[in-house]
Every structure is written in C-alpha cells, then in structure tokens.
Amino acid sequence: MTDLDLVARNLWRKPLRTILLIISILVAFLIFTILIGFNFAYERSLDESSRANRLVVNNKINFTESLPYAYFNRIARAPGVTDATHASWFGAFYQDQRTSRFVGFAVDPESYLRVYAEQILMPEEQKQAFIRERTGVIVGRDLAEKYGWRIGDTIPISSNIFSQRDGSRAWDMKVVGIFSGARPSDSTTALYFQYAYYNETITFGRDQIGSVSLLTTGPEANDATARAIDAQFANSSAETATVDEKTFSRSFLQQAGDINFIITLVVSAAFAAILMIVGNTMVTAIRERTNEIGVLKTIGFSSPRVLRMVLGESVLLSLIGAGAGVVLGGLALKALESQAPFGALDLEPVVVAMAFAIAVLLGLLTGLIPAVSALRMSIIEALSRR
Amino acid sequence: MPGDLITLSRVSKSYRRGRESIAIFDNLSMSIPQGDFVAMMGPSGSGKTTLLNLIGGTDRADAGEIVFDGGRIDTLSESQLAAWRAANVGFVFQFYNLMPVLTAAENVELPLMLTGLSHRKRRQNVETALRIVELADRARHKPKELSGGQQQRVAIARAIVSDPKLLLCDEPTGDLDRATADEILRMLQLLNRELGKTIVMVTHDPEAAKYARRTLHLDKGRFVEQGTGS
C-alpha cells in the first residue's frame, strides 16, 4: 500500500458525496472547455481568415452605415493599394427569416475573387460563370448542403433590409458555384451575388456600398495606406475608418459584447462556486476523520506527510472531475462544430494544459484549510474526538 | 535483570483550562525495565493517560527528562518524535481506532509504510503479525465486518508489526466483554513473555491488571502503592 492508495481509499469513503463533488467539478470544467475551446477557435479563425496586408474601409460612424460607391475608385487608387473590392450586406434569408438567415453579400465578382482568393475555393469555370452571369450566386458548401442547392438551381433569396421595385423582397438567383474554405473543416455558410444585379433592383441605397476591402503592398504599408485613405475623406459627409482585417473582424464579432471578458466572467464564476462547494465539503470530510488523522500521527506519520495526503486527496478529486469535464467538453465541441461560425472546434492541447493547471490549483486551494488544520492538529486533541 | 527501557526524571506536566493551570504531575520520577508488563491504575484524572502519552511521545512534558533505551526523547523535534514512535512504539487504543476504509491486512500494514521495507517483506510481516493474533483468515475483512475482539486483535497486530520494543495500551479491554477481554489480555501477556515486548497498559479493570507483572497506582499525579500481577 502506498500513500496514494490511502488517499484514493479515503476519497471513496463516501461514494455518493465524492460522485456529487466530481459532477460539480466536471460541470465547471465542461463550461471551461467549451467556452475556452470556442475562444481559441474564434482567435484562430481571426488569424486564419485575416491577411496581414488586407485592410477594410468602413464608414467612420459604424460599419452598418454605407459609403458612396464613388469612394471605391478613389480608394483603389490610394498610395500603397494593389487591389480592392467592395461588399454590401444584404440581410439574406431563405424562405423564413426567423430560422434561415445567413451571411449574404452583394459583391463585385471579379475583384472579390481576387482579393479573397484564399478563402473562396472553387473550379475556374464556376468563377467565370459568377463573373459572367448577372443573377449568378456562389454559395458556401455547408449552406448548399443545408438547403440541398445544386449548381444550376434558381433559388429565391430574400432580404430583411431591401425590397425590389415591384414590392417583392425575394431575388431569384442562379447557383453558378459552390465554394469551400481554405481548410476542409472551415465553416462555409455564406453566399455572394452580383452587386450590379443588387444595385439595379433595390428601392433605396443605390450607388452605396457597405465596405471596401483592399490589399496593400505589404503589412509595413498598412498604417500609411490607412492614414492616406482616411485623410482623403476627412470632413466629408461620409468619413472613413480604415483598419486591418483582423481588427475589423474582432470588432464585428464583438458587437454582442467583449467575448473574452464574458468568457472570463462565466468561467471565473463557475470556478468560484466550485471552490466554495468543494472547499467546504473537504473541510467537513477531514473534520469527520480527525480521530483517524490522530491515529496516523500517533503511529508515526509526520505532520507534513499528513498534510500532503490531505492535499493529495483534494487534488486527486479535482483532477478526476477536471479530466471528465475536459473529455466531455472535447466531445461537446465536436458535436457543436457544425453550429460554430469559427470553423473547426478542436480540443487544443493548450486548453488541456490550462485545465490541468487550474485543476491542480483548485485542488490545492480546496484542500488548503483542511490540510493546514490536519498539520496543526495535536495528537491528544485528535484522539479525544470520536 | 535487564536495564531500564524507560526512565522519567522529575517530570512535570500541567494543562491550561481557561485561565487556570491544572498540574497533572510535579517532579514525577519512575522507570520501567525492559521486558516489563506494567498495569497503570487509578481514578479518572489521576494522570494515567497523560503519563502514557508522555512515554509514547505523543505529548510533551513541561519539565524533566524522559529517556528511552538510553536516549532522551523529550528533546526531539516533532518530526524526530514521529520517526521515533514509528520505530519504537506500538499503540493499542480502547476503541481500536482502525481505518474503516482499509482491510485488516492494510490496517496492519500502515506502520510499515513508514519503513523502507519492500512490498514483499511488508506482506510477509503483515501475515506474521496477523498469524500471531490468530486472524490470518480475516486479512481481507474490513473493520465493520469484524467483532470488537477481532478488531482489537487487528489493532494489536498493527502495534507489533514493525517489531517495536514498547507497546502502550490505553484501556485495551475497556470496550470488550469479559471473555473477549481475557482473550486480548492473554495475547498481551504472550507478547510480553514470548516476544519480550515491554508493555505499559492503562486500565480501570483490576482483573485486567492481574495479567501484568506489576501494577502502579496513580492518584493526583503520584504513585501511591505498587502491586504484583500474575
């Protein structure tokens, strides 16, 4: 028998209590794994979807405000700009806007396929069809699979913002291409159609564009290019704000709030609750064993060794709960992957390492009070309690 | 006659109860020869258990010297005392004090966790100790599956498994019926006579004291008379 055997036996002394504690810890680590997993996927998606030399120009008020179409050519000619395209948010949905909304942009096909070449992968003939066909639409693979769309299908795409002159909110579009992302696991749930078709048919907001995306000569030229563009439109009716793509994506995704802050808050609250529950239970559990700790010390177990055994028990408990939580969290991430807007939801090794470190810390903290109490406990006092 | 195993010289001990200091011993001196079997009797509060605690190094004297086998133990640090107890003293308690989560064999093995013995040697020692107390067939039973007498025999096996020179027994039969108590006392007597263990036993029971070689009577922290056992 080893100290670890003794620790394990004591841990399972009251199986129901131990199982309930493990479930509490498991839930906290399940929350941790899912939220941190999401956060990692989100950060990774920002890195992967952003090109270091791609800038985004929006209206300075906010990105929901449009820019005059006339800006596009002036931006494209700004110093340091090698290529440019534009996109306009359409507020797209299919049939029922409560259940089937998705990302839809009206774009200039030729330049958009150049500027976002690494994100929109499809055969050359489909690209050419998109450039050629005025009502053509290209659809992300996941979106096409979801609705069963195939190349050649004509589909009615509606807008929750715009309407046509005849009062209709649906635009008939012909699927001319189905694209995949840079990685097979990337989520492809957007569609793109011709700006020309959109601009001719909408009843308001004509000759306006949502944003301009541009490529610079290199990341080192970004700041100067951004400053030059924004200076060009300073004091105009539509001032611009030019930022790198990662900054823009982050601000877009954080419309609903600071994701990092929310995740930190939720995870901290979960662990604080667990600290109280497990800490309190460990104090009770060790107090119940006062007499046995007195016996161990009497037969020669040193106080530091008893302290290590009590801490070992709380750390072991924490590790079991954390391990189960991380495993379930990993499975949950896989199950949620198809719903995530960030692409693959992998259980990153760094998340496992963080969970391990937190579990050890949590175990040490929850075991600290009972362990110190066991360390200080006098044999005479301990043996007098039954 | 062998030399003294334990010598107490002018030992004083008092406890604080609130603001009051209660003296248990004042300049108490005594010695116990190697191989002795001493029963300590006396009324409640006479200091029997306190004396046992001082001899066993589980409590500290306020003044005086305690010598065990030629070496002072009253000057040892807490960790040194723990190591000394593990090597030299076996303890038997009134309520057995076995770990409920461990089997009889595992309970007996506990003191051996403090030694550097191999797993195999440990198992042999545990088997030997359980055979001595005639419980080899109950090795895998948990304490709750054993009778009071059997639990006390497991406790005795735990006390002797590391082959200590001294056994300290605090009311070892206080929780047992007469027949079972006699069985336990005969076992202690055997350990004293056959294996040469020095035994100090605190008891309220005159019948139990008869199994000892001699009886010391304590009252208000002083020995009042001495008797001879069977």
Assembly ipTM? 0.92
How far is Cα A372 from Cα A381, in angstroms, rounded to an integer? 15
State the smallest CA–CA distance between residue B95 and chain A in angstroms: 9
How far is Cα A137 from Cα A92, in angstroms, rounded to an integer? 12
pLDDT of residue B229: 53
Q: Which amino acid is at A244?
A: D
Residue the block writes with tokens 């110093």: A79
Percent of chain A at pLDDT exceeding 70: 95
CA B60 to chain centre: 17
pLDDT of residue B120: 93
Is residue A246 over pLDDT 90? no
Is residue B228 over pLDDT 90? no
pLDDT of residue A340: 67
Residue of A nearest to B98 (CA): A292
**Per-residue pLDDT averaged across A195-221, rounded?**
93
Q: Which amino acid is at A340?
A: A
For residues B83 and A300, the answer to whether their CB atoms sit within 8 Å is yes
pLDDT of residue A138: 97
Residue the block writes with tokens 């040697």: B121
Taking the Cβ of residue B195 and every Cβ of chain A, the question of whether any pair is shorter than 8 Å is answered with no
User: If interface means Cβ-Cβ distance under 8 Å, which residues of chain A face chain B?
Assistant: 1-3, 6, 9-10, 12-13, 291-292, 295-304, 379-380, 383, 386
Is residue B1 over pLDDT 60? no
Residue the block writes with tokens 């797993």: B119
Contacts of A217 (CB under 8 A, 6+ apart): A53, A80, A82
Phi/psi of residue A152, each to 5°? 100, -20
**Per-residue pLDDT averaged across A95-113, rounded?**
92
Distances (CA, A) of A367 to A10, A287, A373: 14, 12, 10
Listed residue (A195, A209, A196, A208) closest to A107, CA to CA: A195
Query: Mutation test of the interface with chain B: which of A291, A292, A298, A378, choosing the one with the most B Cβ atoms within 10 A?
Result: A298
pLDDT of residue A80: 93
How far is Cα A56 from Cα A108, in angstroms, rounded to an integer? 15
Among the partner-chain residues B79, B101, B158, the one whose CB lies closest to the CB of A13 is B101
Q: Say yes or no for a CB contact (<8 Å) between B86 and A304.
A: no
The model's pLDDT over B13-72, given as tens digits with 9 standing for 90+, comes to 998 888 888 888 889 999 999 999 999 999 988 889 999 999 999 999 999 999 999 999
Contacts of B79 in chain A (CB under 8 A): 302-304
How far is Cα A256 from Cα A34, in angstroms, rounded to an integer? 18
Contacts of B95 in chain A (CB under 8 A): 386
How far is Cα A354 from Cα A100, in angstroms, rounded to an integer? 37
| Kind and range of the H or E run holding B106 | helix B104-109
A363 burial class (0-12, 13-18, 19+ CB within 10 angstroms)? buried
CA torsion angle for A245, A250, A251, A257 (degrees, to 10)? 170
Residue of A nearest to B122 (CA): A1
CA B178 to chain centre: 20
For residues B227 and B217, the answer to whether their CB atoms sit within 8 Å is yes
Listed as own residue / partner, the contacts of A288-292 with beta carbons closer than 8 Å and 24 or more positions apart are A289/A10, A290/A377, A290/A382, A290/A385, A291/A382, A291/A383, A291/A385, A291/A386, A291/B97, A292/B97, A292/B99
Among the partner-chain residues B79, B106, B111, the one whose CB lies closest to the CB of A299 is B111
pLDDT of residue B2: 66
The model's pLDDT over A143-193, given as tens digits with 9 standing for 90+, comes to 999 999 999 999 999 999 999 888 888 999 999 999 998 776 666 889 999
The model's pLDDT over A68-101, given as tens digits with 9 standing for 90+, comes to 999 999 999 999 999 999 999 999 999 888 888 8
Q: Say yes or no for a CB contact (<8 Å) between A10 and B101.
A: yes
**Per-residue pLDDT averaged across A346-358, rounded?**
91
How far is Cα A28 from Cα A231, in angstroms, rounded to an integer? 50
Contacts of A330 (CB under 8 A, 6+ apart): A33, A37, A347
| The pair of three-digit structure tokens given for residue A174, joined into one six-digit string | 């012909």
Contacts of B55 (CB under 8 A, 6+ apart): B6, B8, B32, B66, B166, B168, B200
A 10 A CB-CB count for B86 gives 22
For residues B216 and B226, the answer to whether their CB atoms sit within 8 Å is yes
Side-chain half-sphere CA neighbours of A50 within 13 A? 19
Helix ranges (H only) for A12-95 are 15-49, 70-76
Contacts of A12 in chain B (CB under 8 A): 101
CA A125 to chain centre: 34
DSSP bridge partners of A84 = A214
| The pair of three-digit structure tokens given for residue A272, joined into one six-digit string | 């604080």
**Per-residue pLDDT averaged across A359-363, rounded?**
94
Q: What is the 3-state secondary structure (H, E, C) of A274-328?
A: HHHHHHHHHHHHHHHCHHHHHHHHHCCCCHHHHHHHHHHHHHHHHHHHHHHHHHH
pLDDT of residue A129: 96
Listed residue (A90, A74, A71) closest to A197, CA to CA: A90
Contacts of A380 (CB under 8 A, 6+ apart): B53, B58, B59
How far is Cα A382 from Cα A243, in angstroms, rounded to an integer? 67
Q: Say yes or no for a CB contact (<8 Å) between A295 and B99.
A: yes
DSSP bridge partners of A171 = A157
The model's pLDDT over B104-121, given as tens digits with 9 standing for 90+, comes to 999 999 999 999 899 999
User: Apex CA B139: angle with CA B133 and CA B141, to 5°?
Assistant: 120
DSSP bridge partners of B22 = B15
Listed residue (B58, B71, B216) closest to A296, CA to CA: B58
How far is Cα B63 from Cα B53, in angstroms, rounded to an integer? 15
| The pair of three-digit structure tokens given for residue A122, joined into one six-digit string | 């499809």
For residues A379 and A294, the answer to whether their CB atoms sit within 8 Å is yes
pLDDT of residue A186: 67
Among the partner-chain residues A3, A10, A300, the one whose CB lies closest to the CB of B82 is A300
Among the partner-chain residues B78, B85, B106, the one whose CB lies closest to the CB of A298 is B85
pLDDT of residue A99: 86
DSSP bridge partners of B20 = B17
Taking the Cβ of residue B100 and every Cβ of chain A, the question of whether any pair is shorter than 8 Å is answered with yes
Contacts of B100 in chain A (CB under 8 A): 13
Side-chain half-sphere CA neighbours of A10 within 13 A? 26
Q: Are strands A208-209 and A67-68 parallel, antiparallel or unpaired?
A: antiparallel
How far is Cα A346 from Cα A357, in angstroms, rounded to an integer? 19
For residues A109 and A122, the answer to whether their CB atoms sit within 8 Å is no
Listed residue (A84, A109, A97) closest to A191, CA to CA: A109
Q: Say yes or no for a CB contact (<8 Å) between B113 and A292.
A: no
Between A259 and A173, the more confident residue is: A173
